[in-house]
């Protein structure tokens, strides 16, 4: 059965992107690869809002999320937690043998800048992890406000996950003074899974250079050194790099501002659809994600039955992540969607709700 994904990643991949992936292979140390790699930089830098190089990792986001910790934490990391992925980051830090402390907010509440300041002021920290857009509960924290707090603590290296927000709204890495910013391929970039993109500040690179156990595969210093030659440290996932090149062309053709505006419009469209049908947003008001909507299942809908009906119509949404399974449902508006495609989904949702008697 074939159906279109409106789960918050992986999301639907266009035929143009899939065709780009089918191009013949090239050697990753060849002039052709160097040209390909370098051609991506301006588009990626504008998505990150940075003049740093943007590195390509043949891994999903977690590879870079774990690798970044190994590179920059020497004393203790503070993990800001407000959902499944940010909670797990604390666990991952401890599994790496690092000293780590969690700044816990309820799932769906944003990371609180005042709480961040109070915890960092206690001292002892040299790194912080933050998830900008907690996909698990559709909550988007105020990154500029958090970055302003981080700038008060110049010894603290920030590691910021923009996994499900990069390319859906502006990220201003340099202006905000963020150190490591990362995202995955299968979210708003609408590529298949398997690659992460990330950018690292000079001071994070300097910290990494002093880390004795940073390993090899995610060694930030290796990434920088290879980047200067237009390459990646190890053999990269070349089909996904072709796909990224094709996507950056699409973004340039649409215009980056138009892309951000489209995500905001489609997000509102889905939100209003949900409100009109008696659902509330799960995250705190004012902090709903712009790339997905996570609705509280306030009407007690049988989400499994809903998705079965929806799948028969050629669509799939998400029925809640982890402890929110059955209690929330999430609809992505990331990637290449338009008013027309979102209306198709919403019409199918209405028909499916009716069919299950909801």
Ligand X SMILES: Cc1ncc(COP(=O)(O)O)c(C=O)c1O
Binding site for ligand X (CB under 6 A): 9, 60-62, 85, 131, 135, 161, 163-164, 184
Choice between 9 and 288, CB closer to ligand X: 9
The whole-angstrom separation of Cα 351 and Cα 335 is 24
- DSSP annotation of 324 reads G
- DSSP annotation of 75 reads S
Tokens of 352: 């499916």
C-alpha 274: how far from chain center: 24
CB of 134 to ligand X, least distance (A): 6
Choice between 43 and 184, CB closer to ligand X: 184
CB of 321 to ligand X, least distance (A): 8
Choice between 73 and 183, CB closer to ligand X: 183
Minimal CA–CA distance to 235: which of 57, 63, 54, 66?
Answer: 57
Minimal CA–CA distance to 289: which of 37, 82, 79, 26?
Answer: 82
Burial of 294 from C-beta contacts in 10 A (0-12 / 13-18 / 19+): buried
Choice between 161 and 219, CB closer to ligand X: 161
Choice between 33 and 85, CB closer to ligand X: 85
CB of 288 to ligand X, least distance (A): 15
Choice between 184 and 233, CB closer to ligand X: 184
Per-residue DSSP letters for 87-113?
HHHHHHHHHTT--EEEEE--TTSPPPH
The whole-angstrom separation of Cα 303 and Cα 309 is 10
CB of 147 to ligand X, least distance (A): 17
Choice between 184 and 288, CB closer to ligand X: 184
- Across the strands, what pairs with 180? 159, 200
CB of 85 to ligand X, least distance (A): 4
- Across the strands, what pairs with 100? 77
CB of 356 to ligand X, least distance (A): 27
Choice between 63 and 233, CB closer to ligand X: 63
The whole-angstrom separation of Cα 169 and Cα 349 is 26
CB of 23 to ligand X, least distance (A): 24
CB of 193 to ligand X, least distance (A): 6
- Terminus-to-terminus CA distance in the chain, angstroms? 25
Tokens 């340039």: give the residue: 252
Contact by Cβ (8 Å): 8, 164: yes
């Amino acid at each position: 059965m074939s159906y279109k994904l409106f789960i918050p990643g992986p999301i639907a991949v266009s035929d143009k992107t899939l065709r780009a992936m089918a191009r013949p292979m090239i050697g990753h140390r060849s002039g052709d690869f160097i040209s390909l790699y370098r051609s991506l930089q301006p588009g990626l830098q504008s998505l990150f809002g940075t003049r740093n190089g943007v590195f390509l990792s043949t891994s999903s986001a977690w590879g870079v999320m774990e690798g970044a910790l190994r590179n920059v934490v020497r004393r203790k990391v503070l993990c800001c937690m407000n959902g499944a992925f940010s909670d797990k980051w604390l666990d991952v830090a401890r599994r790496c043998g690092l000293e780590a402390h969690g700044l816990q907010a309820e799932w769906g509440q944003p990371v609180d800048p005042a709480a961040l300041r109070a915890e960092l002021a206690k001292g002892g920290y040299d790194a912080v992890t933050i998830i900008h857009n907690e996909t698990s509960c559709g909550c988007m924290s105020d990154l500029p406000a958090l970055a302003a707090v981080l700038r008060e603590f110049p010894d603290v290296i920030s590691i910021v996950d923009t996994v499900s927000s990069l390319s859906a709204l502006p990220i201003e890495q340099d202006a905000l003074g963020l150190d490591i910013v990362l995202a995955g391929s299968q979210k708003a970039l609408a590529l298949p899974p398997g690659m992460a993109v990330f950018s690292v500040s000079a001071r994070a690179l300097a910290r990494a250079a002093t880390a004795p156990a940073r390993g090899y595969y995610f060694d930030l210093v290796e990434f920088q050194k290879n980047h200067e030659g237009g390459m990646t440290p190890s053999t990269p996932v070349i089909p996904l790099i072709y796909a990224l090149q094709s996507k950056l062309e699409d973004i340039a053709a649409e215009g980056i501002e138009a892309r951000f505006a489209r995500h905001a419009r489609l997000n509102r469209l889905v939100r209003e659809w949900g409100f009109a049908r008696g659902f509330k947003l799960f995250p705190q008001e004012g902090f709903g994600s712009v790339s997905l909507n996570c609705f509280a299942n306030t009407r007690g809908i049988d989400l499994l039955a809903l998705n079965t009906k929806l799948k028969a119509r050629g669509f799939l949404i998400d029925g809640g992540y982890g402890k929110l399974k059955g209690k929330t449902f999430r609809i992505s508006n990331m990637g290449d969607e338009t008013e027309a495609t979102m209306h198709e989904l919403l019409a199918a949702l209405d028909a499916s709700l009716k069919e299950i008697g909801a």
